[in-house]
Amino acid sequence: MTRDWNGSAISGVTAGVTGMERRAARRILETRGDLRMRAVLWNGEEVRISDEPALARVVFRDRGVIPYLALHPEVGLGDAYASGRLEIEGDLVTALKLFFGHPEQRGLLRRARDAWRLWDRRSHSLRRARYNIHRHYDLGNEFYALWLDERMAYTCAYFPTPSSSLEEAQLAKMEHVSRKVWLRPGDRVVEAGCGWGALALHMARHHGVTVTAYNISSEQVRYARELARREGLADRVEFREDDYRNVRGRYDAFVSVGMLEHVGDENYAELGRVIDRSLEPHGRGLIHSIGRIQRRPMDPWIDKHIFPGSYSPKLEEMVGILSPHDLAVIDVENLRMHYEKTLTHWLERFEKNAAAIERRFDARFVRIFRLYLAGAIASFHVGNLQLWQVVFQRTRSNDLPWNRARLYVPKG
């Protein structure tokens, strides 16, 4: 029986749909979807696997989509959505929460595929790393300005309350990070992967430190330098267009917010060595990164369209960067729900500017970015992704705060 979106029966226009196609659509709902999803075929016919009220409908716009999905099990759904051959009726984020909430397949095939993908990755040479970063972060500062906050912070914010604004939350994040590494006036700070420079400038402005910030996105560095000049901080914040592996000098604090995802786990040992040689004996550090509970390769669609060469580590792997150098973890905080909230703000702003973005790029670009943002919201919501801030210092150093209460003192 066919039903429309509200559940009313539609008289049978099932022509042009074979039984095999119908079974394939049902199979997609069963293996990757949810009881509360429906599939809608190109002739309007609805396929369901339960009588629970529908929360979302997946619309196959043409009959070619089904074999396409079978041929491309990894990126097919995303690519069909990007091209508009597959549509989601109902809220996209809700639909993706249903997709991602599906018990993950732990079968042999899945595990073998994951293992292969973890092995079969390009190494992050300096050149490849630069290409990976360029691909995403050099899409144009004007584009990012359309949906990030006014400071262009492109990492998980820290919402004082769930209803705080994105601007407040990005400011609170920078303050939270500064307090976590216990900045004191005169400290020399190195930042690995500084985005558009917001955190570096915040630390210099509000904590009286000097910052050397590294980034291999030329667009971001250009923007950050201009900002430092305009804000009169150019003498205290130096932006270097260079790889974290080329960090030189000794510092009182090391911070890295949202870079680890691009490092590639084959370089974690080197990152550990970089931190070790950069940090004074009394130095503190913080790594802020998206992570996962289980070791899994990056989603292939995200790897293809959004973040080539990215990887979300387990907490064990993050800690493992530090242990070989006797760097002791003193604080870990999981901000998964704050990233869901951050992304929700981004998607809302993105949608408000979708027409402008489509003019700048094209409809496919808009759909790719929409799927990426909505998918990330869903992933943090269902706990497929975590966000960990890990604070550390040398185990031999006793120059550490007595407790964490200072993080929660209202800013005077």
Indicate which single residue of 327, 357, 368, 377 sits in contact with a second copy (rule: CB under 8 A).
327
163 binds a second copy (CB under 8 A): no
55 in contact with a second copy (CB under 8 A): no
Q: Which of 4, 62, 150, 316 binds a second copy (CB under 8 A)?
A: 316
Q: Which of 43, 94, 218, 334 binds a second copy (CB under 8 A)?
A: 334
When asked if residue 268 is in the footprint of a second copy (CB under 8 A), the reply is no
**Is 9 a binder of a second copy (CB under 8 A)?**
no
> How many residues can be counted in the chain?
412
Residue 305 CB, nearest approach to a second copy (Å): 25
In the block, tokens 């039984």 appear at 19
Any contact of residue 402 with a second copy (CB under 8 A)? yes
Is residue 337 a contact point for a second copy (CB under 8 A)?
yes
Q: Is 405 in the site for a second copy (CB under 8 A)?
A: yes
**CA–CA dist 134, 140 (Å, integer):** 10
Among 135, 273, 314, 349, binds a second copy (CB under 8 A): 314
Shortest distance, position 68 Cβ to a second copy, whole Å: 31
Closest distance of CB 300 from a second copy, Å: 21
Q: How far is the CB of 408 from a second copy (least distance, A)?
A: 4
- Cα angle: 370, vertex 376, 380; to 5 degrees: 150
| By the rule CB under 8 A, 266 interacts with a second copy | no
Binder to a second copy among 114, 320, 353, 360 (CB under 8 A)? 320
User: Binding residue for a second copy (CB under 8 A) from 127, 230, 359, 396?
Assistant: 396
Q: Decide: is 270 part of the binding site for a second copy (CB under 8 A).
A: no
315 binds a second copy (CB under 8 A): yes
**In the complex, least distance from residue 182 CB atom to a second copy, rounded to whole angstroms:** 14
> HEC string of the chain?
CEECCCCCEECCCCCCCCHHHHHHHHHHHHHHCCCCEEEECCCCCEEECCCCCCCEEEEECCCCHHHHHHHCCCCHHHHHHHHCCEEEECCHHHHHHHHHHCCCCCCHHHHHHHHHHHHCCCCCCHHHHHHHHHHHHCCCHHHHHCCCCCCCCCCCCCCCCCCCCHHHHHHHHHHHHHHHCCCCCCCEEEEECCCCCHHHHHHHHHHCCEEEEEECCHHHHHHHHHHHHHCCCCCCEEEEECCHHHCCCCEEEEEEECCHHHCCHHHHHHHHHHHHHHEEEEEEEEEEEEECCCCCCCCHHHHHHCCCCCCCCCHHHHHHHHHHHCEEEEEEEECHHHHHHHHHHHHHHHHHCHHHHHHHCCHHHHHHHHHHHHHHHHHHHHCCCEEEEEEEEECCCCCCCCCCHHHHCCCC
Q: 15, 185, 403, 411: which one contacts a second copy (CB under 8 A)?
A: 403
Asked whether position 398 contacts a second copy by CB under 8 A, the answer is: yes
317 vs 358 by CB, closer to a second copy: 317
Task: Restricting to residues 62-121, name those near a second copy by CB under 8 A.
Answer: 101
Q: Is 354 in the site for a second copy (CB under 8 A)?
A: no
Residues binding a second copy: what is the number (CB under 8 A)? 43
Residues that bind a second copy (CB under 8 A): 101, 158-162, 293-294, 314-316, 319-320, 323, 326-334, 336-337, 381-384, 386, 388, 394-398, 400, 402-405, 407-408
